[in-house]
Amino acid sequence: MSARDTILAKVRRSLAVSGDEAARRAAVAERLSDAKAGVIPARGQLPQDERIALFSKYAEKYGATIARVASIEDLPQEVSRYLKSSNLPASVRMGDDVLLKSAGFEREPMLTVLSGASDGTDLAGVSHARGAVAESGTLVLASGPDNPVTINFLPEHHIVAVRAEDIGASLEEAFAGIAATYGKGEMPRTVNFVTGPSRSGDIEQKIIMGAHGPRALHIVIVG
């Protein structure tokens, strides 16, 4: 018997089941297809303006900085401003994201835009978060050619654009959005839920920012 079959047989023996019980199979099939939501905290269930305020409050609590711009065309200027104020060279790395491409970075002639995955030499990267979670100040980033995962972790500074209308109340809303894009039960290779910049408390439980991931997270709310 394979290890797989032995383990399944052991589980069944311990649970005193055969695995063929129709009721058990139905319970599992229903659970997976319904995928019901449980308790969703009330604190995120707010009208859009207050929801954005709550998102910003938590993101800042966890060490992110926040800017808000009226439209995506304002993003390049905000990126330049952020780089300058952080004493960084005018260069960023980003993927092929449609929203980011529509921002018109060529209107910032001093700013170099490198595309594709990061090789670890970039000081700043720009991503587009497909959503955000107000209840905890969390960004939701999906991997792919439009937003390579390495940009979320390797650059020292991570600048993330998120559209105001994509800031949802809860984790459940974020998952519903992913299912709407990729199909029920399907996921992109990587989904990163990001709440503030990287940190470690491993030496004497003192929290220090910038462990292995970005030292700074700058969120630009668009709209």
Cα 17 from chain centroid (whole Å): 40
Q: Nearest distance from residue 105's CB to another protein, in Å?
A: 19
* Residue number with CB closer to another protein (133 or 222): 133
Pattern 64-93, another protein, x by CB under 8 A: ------------------------------
Residue 5, H or E segment: helix 3-15
- According to DSSP, residue 57 is labeled H
Give the footprint of another protein on residues 181-220 (CB under 8 A): 185-206, 208, 210-214
* Selected binder of another protein within 125, 152, 155, 168 (CB under 8 A): 152
Handedness of CA 203, 209, 213, 215 (dihedral sign): negative
Please identify which residue in 74, 101, 175, 177 interacts with another protein, judged by CB under 8 A. Answer: 175
- Residue 139 phi, psi dihedral angles, 5° rounding: -95, 150
Q: Which stretch binds another protein (CB under 8 A): 47-55, 98-106, 143-151, 160-168?
A: 143-151
Binding mask 103-142 for another protein (x = CB under 8 A): -------------xxx-x------------x-xxxx----
d(CA 145, CA 103): 17
Write each residue from 90 to 109 as x if it is in contact with another protein (CB under 8 A), else as -, in one continuous string.
Answer: -----x--------------
CA within 13 Å, CB half, 105: 21
Nearer to another protein, 45 or 77 (CB): 45
Edge-to-edge strands, sheet with 124-128? 65-69, 216-222, 157-163, 124-128, 91-94, 112-115
Three-class DSSP category at 49: helix
- According to the binding rule CB under 8 A, does residue 154 interact with another protein? yes
What tokens appear for 131 in the block?
């959503």
At its nearest, how many Å lie between another protein and the CB of residue 147?
10
